[in-house]
Structure 1
Amino acid sequence: MTAIAPVRLIRDRATWLIYLQLGVFATYLYGLSAALPLLRLDQGVSQAVAGLHGTAMAVGGIIVGLALPWLAGRIGRRAAVWTGMAGMSAGTLMVAAAPTVLPVTLLGYGVASGLASIVLYLGMAALDDRHGPAGPAAISEANAVCVIVGIGVPFVVSAAAQSAFGWRAALLVTPALAALLALAMGRVRLPEPGDATGGTGGAGGAGGTATEGRARFGWRFYLAAAVLFCCVAMEFCFNLWAAKLFSDQTGLPAAVAATAVAAFTAGMAAGRLAGAWLALRVPPTVLFLGALLVAAAGWAIFWLSTNPVFSYAGLAVSGLGVALHFPMALSRVLAASGGRRDRASAMASIFSGLAVGIGPFLLGALADGFGTQQAFLMVPALIGLAAGGLLITAGGRLRAGAGEPA
């Protein structure tokens, strides 16, 4: 294996702002994920109907993804990202305000997800522009911050569910933190496509905006996006349904089983912190394939276990592998875009939105028909598809260095 020469990652105020915005994003994502089993019980609906909340998240992400290049070009990344923070908070508040009204909670999940995708994908594009060769490491580190915050969110939801306030109180964390961050760092400027300092230039540089609407992406881009689809679908299957399988397998009540997501996010935090270092030193395809194998091993432990300790361990190992899937898949999508990062981010949002909608809903429907354990066989299927797509886009060049194509 040929090692990649170390690349320096310089963190400026804009970098830290994106990291912190991803931290607030985590309170929305993991809060609504951990709350879904409790929301289902309050509403008295089936698993498939509850899975429609994932579909609502997908629809929101797709709609916003279609408008994302226009929005970023119209008002700039900074204003667009803060608009996303406000909409993410509003959607979360909708769920907290009317948890027993299915149309309202579906709308809340959709609004929160759609506007949150602006925060996520424009933030990732800005990091890639700012840090150039160190972009994958910055993206992995930003996502590490996200999951580190996410570790505590299921415990907050579980504690609130067992208190007099109810689980809805935990959802108020998102708008509160978003408001505090806006007051503290609202004037920090994010890198724009025309003034990237660490990027590779080309279409992503000063002249990139004018051509983004006309140039077409090649097949490698769409195959990289399909790999991203598999990775996002897999992650959300864990996020939205791991607590249910944990409860079914161990016999623990739903309010306690909500903490199972914390084991998964703990593994993701460790994986992304290590991934930020590894991404600067290990060939991308080798690292990505290794992460897929680790996730498969963790899934097997979790899927077979009926003991809470082993189930937690399986989820932690799964998270360790899944940790690198999204950052590396997104980095490959951006790398295959020819420098058109905002447009590629919009396409990534659309593919991710489809994954969020199809994956958890299909798993929920399968769970209603065959049981949650059998439905979780979707995970190794998605791992296999992602690995196949990765090998095709890599073209067999597993020993490539930093310039390895996406």
Structure 2
Amino acid sequence: MVQADFRRDRLTWVAYVMLGWFAYLQAAPGLVIVHLRDELDLSYSTGGLHIAAFAAGSLLAGVISAQLERRLGRRTLFWSAAALMGVGVIGLTAGRIAAVTIGSVLVMGLGGGLLLVAIQATLADHHGERRAVALTEANVAASVAYVVLIGVLSLTAAVGVGWRVALLASLVVLALVWWGNRRLAIDAPPLSQVVHGRLPAVFWISAAMLFCATSAEWCITAWGATFVEDAAGVSSDSAIALMAGYFGGVVVGRTAGSRLARRHDPERLFAVALVVTAVGFGILWPSTGPVQALVGLSVLGLGLGNLFPMGLSVTVGLVPERAVLASGRAVGATSFAVLLAPLTVGTLADATSLTAAFGLVPVALALAAAGLLLVRRAQT
């Protein structure tokens, strides 16, 4: 059980802020795709390729992260990855054809995936047995960034400057954090703990559980605004604004989760989050108006917001002595989910409807529950 004496130092806060910056940009493709589809006349499938491109870059990052850290060191990897993600943002905002915007999101995913691995490993190594609290609090910062993104997108739409300004403005955060902390030590454990050693079978079961949970989350994150636009019959900007209910639910859920993680096992909290998610989806799926959609999205956020941090804590906690290797493989598994799930939903939506394609969500939740049961049995 996690103890209550948890201390946040400068390194912890830098990790939190940078994860928030990453999350702001990670969520951006799924929200701006409603604009890109209008501007570039994209199908559901082509729109889904933007989400898939981010995931493909992150998947590659999960494969190469441990080797890159061994060659570059964690601090160099940390800031270089952030810079690469920034380059991708510039390309996305400058692109006027699908090939350029998709390629730019791929670069964002590669840089962001490497940054995510470095952040998660740093928090896990730095806080040891209290990693569940650190990882959950970090994801509170990420969920706050989602809400900020909704607000900034709504503001830029209201004043008529467009979504591109909302993304480019985030680069100021990167510049300020780097300038103030470029000499901060971001150390890694001995190399033998970073790269070597086999991961046990129970780790891969837990990684599969995390894959399923992330699939459900990104079906909503990537296509939630588009679903609401179609189901509730609202404008693109109104659909994005309604997603504030989802991301607000994520903030509340993760804030509560970070407190509960001090006293309760992350496996138990993961199970509770699955139940809440199922309830929220049951409200959202049949919705035909904005009010019911908002309620469903809010409850979904409460549950989905905790699936990733709790699932990650369970997965990395199975092999705490090899945090970077485990974090890299976990990022690979979740990135594959982000690659596959939104693209599958987009393809199914083109063939049937987006409502029918959302049937993937309860299937993913059921498989995640089965994975949790297997992990618990393997530990007894």
What TM-score comes out, normalization by structure 2 length? 0.96
Q: Which amino acid aligns with 2:172?
A: A
Deviations 1:11-47 (A, max 9, x none): 0110001011112112212222211111111110110
Of Structure 1 and Structure 2, the greater helix share is in: 2
Deviation at 1:358, TM superposition (A): 0.4
In 1: Cα distance, 2:148 partner to 2:177 partner: 19
Deviation at 1:111, TM superposition (A): 0.6
Query: 8 Å contact 1:237–1:363 — kept in the other structure?
Result: yes
Which ranges of structure 2 fall in alignment gaps of 5 or more residues?
Answer: none
Structure 1 residues 188, 338: CA separation in 2 closer, same or farther (over 3 Å shift)? closer
In 2: Cα distance, 1:65 partner to 1:273 partner: 27
Matching residue of 2:110 = 114
Matching residue of 1:187 = 183
Matching residue of 2:127 = 131
Counterpart of 2:229 in 1: which secondary structure? helix
Deviations 1:167-196 (A, max 9, x none): 2111112212111111222222224224xx
Matching residue of 2:28 = 31
- Residue 156 of structure 2 is aligned with which of 154, 160, 164? 160
Counterpart of 1:72 in 2: which secondary structure? helix
In 1: Cα distance, 2:276 partner to 2:375 partner: 21
Matching residue of 2:203 = 221
Identity %: 33
Structure 1 residues 361, 9: CA separation in 2 closer, same or farther (over 3 Å shift)? same
Instruction: Trace 1:259-274 onto structure 2 (pairs within 5 A).
Output: 259-274=241-256
Instruction: Trace 1:166-205 onto structure 2 (pairs within 5 A).
Output: 166-194=162-190
- Residue 103 of structure 1 is aligned with which of 99, 102, 117? 99
Query: 8 Å contact 1:31–1:170 — kept in the other structure?
Result: no
- Residue 54 of structure 1 is aligned with which of 45, 51, 54? 51
Counterpart of 2:283 in 1: which secondary structure? helix
Deviation at 1:8, TM superposition (A): 1.5
Matching residue of 1:198 = none
In 2: Cα distance, 1:284 partner to 1:155 partner: 31
Deviation at 1:70, TM superposition (A): 1.1
- Residue 71 of structure 2 is aligned with which of 63, 66, 74? 74
Q: Which amino acid aligns with 2:111?
A: L
Deviations 1:196-255 (A, max 9, x none): xxxxxxxxxxxxx22654422121111111111112222111111000111111110112
Counterpart of 1:395 in 2: which secondary structure? helix
Deviation at 1:294, TM superposition (A): 0.2
In 2: Cα distance, 1:214 partner to 1:128 partner: 17
Query: 8 Å contact 1:14–1:191 — kept in the other structure?
Result: no
Deviations 1:29-82 (A, max 9, x none): 222221111111111011011111122112211222221001111222121111
Matching residue of 1:347 = 329
Structure 1 residues 76, 325: CA separation in 2 closer, same or farther (over 3 Å shift)? same
Instruction: Trace 1:1-400 onto structure 2 (pairs within 5 A).
Output: 4=1, 6-98=3-95, 100-194=96-190, 209-210=191-192, 213-337=195-319, 339-395=321-377
Which ranges of structure 1 fall in alignment gaps of 5 or more residues?
Answer: 195-208, 397-404
Counterpart of 2:4 in 1: which secondary structure? coil
Deviations 1:125-170 (A, max 9, x none): 1111111121111100001011112102123223323543222111
In 2: Cα distance, 1:58 partner to 1:83 partner: 19
Aligned residue pairs total 380
What TM-score comes out, normalization by structure 1 length? 0.90
Over aligned residues, Cα RMSD in angstroms?
Answer: 1.7
Deviation at 1:314, TM superposition (A): 0.9
